[in-house]
Structure 1
Amino acid sequence: MSDDALWYFARGSGVVSLILLTVVVALGVGARSGRPAFGLPRFAVSLVHRNAALLSVVFLAGHVVALLFDSYAKLDLIDLVVPFVGEYSPFWQGLGTVALDLILAIVATSLLRHRIGAPAWRAVHWAGYLCWPVALAHGLGAGSDSGTWWLWAISLACLAVVVAAVVWRTSAGFEAFAGRAARRRPLTLSR
């Protein structure tokens, strides 16, 4: 594969991964609401959340592998796991490494969820909320597209989606719904 093809693939896969990660975070916020989101039942929201997360990881892997073989980026294997040590734009590249490390921790604990238990999995899974802004900042600061209007437009759209999800989740209407749901008696079978 030529350097140009690697460069285009690295750029595109990074942007697609950010968009999918935005969907994952927004759905993660929505799934915690206890009410249907986007007119979908909770199981459907969870299914889309999980599948978007898996697809985001696939595109992230493509992004990282393409940059590893790109002669312009000049990444070493150590740059993929240790933040802020790279030669090219160490701060912005380091943010990408932090995001990658957080994603790897989330994937590893998700695969081991039944062995480590739900509380440990949930504690690490919350890192997704930290991973998203770090990945967003990495995308805006690293690479040759950092100053382009289209990347800023996509990034601002991603920001708007996550902010809207958080506003929806913290709205007064949500609290009223959550309160009603908590007051409902659970369905039990009596003898």
Structure 2
Amino acid sequence: MWAFGRVSGLVSMVLLTASVLLGILARSGRPLLVIPRFSVTLLHRNISLLAVVFLVLHVAPLLLDSYARVNVVDVVVPFLGSYKPFWQGLGTVALDLVAAVVLTGVFRHRLGPRTFRTVHWLSYAMWPLALAHSVGNGTDGTSAPVVAAAVVLCVAVLAAAAWRMSAGFLETAAVRRSGGNARKGWGRP
């Protein structure tokens, strides 16, 4: 159970990273290579759901594993675990944030776009907490492959976040109407 929980946690971390990257790309309004903009949003949603499935597959087996000694309270309330409580607590906070983002996604139409967007910003807090939990709590968290993967994931998210904060991030309606030529000064009359 422990090994399954660990592997599913690592897969979830990779999928959460892909979700963050696709979320940033979807917000930009740009296509992904040959995938149109609307499909980027659908891909973001589906990968996010798959990440949540793997997150459940990460937590559930650990609840049943006698080695991990995780109970339901540890899963919901941060920093109470018996094994590396700080690192486990970071994972619990990340899980709570994921739950908030998922719930607002499910009730998006009832909550309105402003509330959805505000809560969705928690993804930027959730991701580093989940990564820190992954490296700090895992028994193989300091192994070369896990550290290398963490560095690659960090570089990808930091680059995407820098792009997200840049002045040229959002694709404007004028650029869309002109077929991309307005940015180059070739806009249609």
TM-score by length of 1: 0.86
Q: In the TM superposition, what is the alpha-carbon distance from 1:120 to its structure 2 partner?
A: 1.0
Residue of 100, 103, 120 corresponding to 1:108 = 103
Whether 1:88 aligns to 2:83 is: yes
Give the aligned partner of residue 187 of structure 1: none
Give the aligned partner of residue 154 of structure 1: 149
Whether 1:131 aligns to 2:123 is: no
Give the aligned partner of residue 12 of structure 1: 7
Residue of 18, 39, 49 corresponding to 2:44 = 49
Distance 1:109 1:177 in 2: 26
Q: Deviations over 1:99-154 (max 9, x none)?
A: 00001111111111111111111111111111101000000100211111111111
Whether 1:118 aligns to 2:113 is: yes
Amino acid at match of 2:8: S
Amino acid at match of 1:152: V
Distance 1:11 1:66 in 2: 9
Distance 2:50 2:153 in 1: 17
Q: In the TM superposition, what is the alpha-carbon distance from 1:61 to its structure 2 partner?
A: 0.2
Q: In the TM superposition, what is the alpha-carbon distance from 1:166 to its structure 2 partner?
A: 2.4
After superposition, residues 68-79 of structure 1 pair within 5 angstroms as: 68-79=63-74
Aligned residues with identical type, % of pairs: 51
Whether 1:168 aligns to 2:145 is: no
Residues 33, 178 of structure 1: 8 Å contact kept = no
Q: In the TM superposition, what is the alpha-carbon distance from 1:93 to its structure 2 partner?
A: 0.1
**Bigger relative CO (Cα 8 Å, ≥ 6 apart):** 1
Distance 1:175 1:78 in 2: 41
Distance 1:85 1:70 in 2: 17
Residues 163, 169 of structure 2: 8 Å contact kept = no
Whether 1:181 aligns to 2:175 is: yes
Structure 2, unaligned runs of 5 or more: 179-189
Give the aligned partner of residue 25 of structure 2: 30
Q: In the TM superposition, what is the alpha-carbon distance from 1:49 to its structure 2 partner?
A: 0.3
Distance 2:37 2:177 in 1: 19
Distance 2:146 2:158 in 1: 18
Q: Deviations over 1:8-55 (max 9, x none)?
A: 111110000000000000111111212223342111110110000000
Relative to structure 2, which stretch is displaced further, 52-61 or 125-134? 125-134
Amino acid at match of 1:74: R
Count of matched residue positions in the alignment of Structure 1 and Structure 2 = 178
After superposition, residues 50-65 of structure 1 pair within 5 angstroms as: 50-65=45-60
Q: Deviations over 1:150-181 (max 9, x none)?
A: 11111111112212222333456x35954853
Q: Give RMSD over aligned pairs.
A: 2.0
Change (3 A) 1:175 1:61: closer
